[in-house]
Amino acid sequence: MLPGAKLRVADPFVLAGRDERADAYGLYLAIASLMAAEVEVINLSLAGPANLLIERAVADAELAGIPIVAAVGNDGPRSGPRYPAAYASVVAVTAVDRASRVYRRAGQGAHVDFAAPGVGIATAASVRGVRAQTGTSFAAPFVTAALAVAKRRLPDATPAELQAALTGASIDLGEPGRDPVFGDGLVQVGSPC
């Protein structure tokens, strides 16, 4: 989505039995390493419970002027808010399908900021090349890319100003205006060129 972009990856996940999990300390270190590398935007395609250490990392990023984008989670519309997406300064992303319908398992609430494609997304697979994936974690990178494009166009803008620019260009979905299902609407990435 962003030709020529320099990407940095900080992997907070460890193997826990047959599953991969991220703990709060690993996630804190990942965010801190990305901040030390002076990235322009941080994408967190994960969701979990509130945590003071993660809240601190999010606050540090906010003070540094680095927007954080996070998935709202896949625990269903009746689940409570998931973090870090539910922290006020984090840009919270839900997933929609090709018809702009919300992903049935996506979290909802007042903290949802934007919707982005997240159902049947072609992703790199280690064994078979490309595989379709679904979830809010696959929607968050679209908003991260949109913020990166906005940052290039408005280099002196604050994270709040960048988010406002995305809001102005988004396509309203659901109830008119901001709502707890789609937030401010379907984000438009625009041309990175």
Mean pLDDT of 66-93: 97
pLDDT at 75: 97
3-class state of residue 72 by DSSP: coil
Tokens of 14: 């460890």
Note the pTM of the prediction, 2 decimals: 0.94
Six-digit token string for 154: 């408005």
Per-residue pLDDT reduced to its tens digit, 20-37: 888 999 999 999 999 999
Structure confidence at residue 190 as a pLDDT band (50, 70, 90): low
Q: Give the domain ranges of the chain.
A: 13-169
Which residues does 162 contact at the CB level (< 8 Å), separation at least 6? 67, 147, 150, 151, 154
How many residues are recorded in the chain?
193
The highest-level CATH class for domain 13-169 is alpha beta
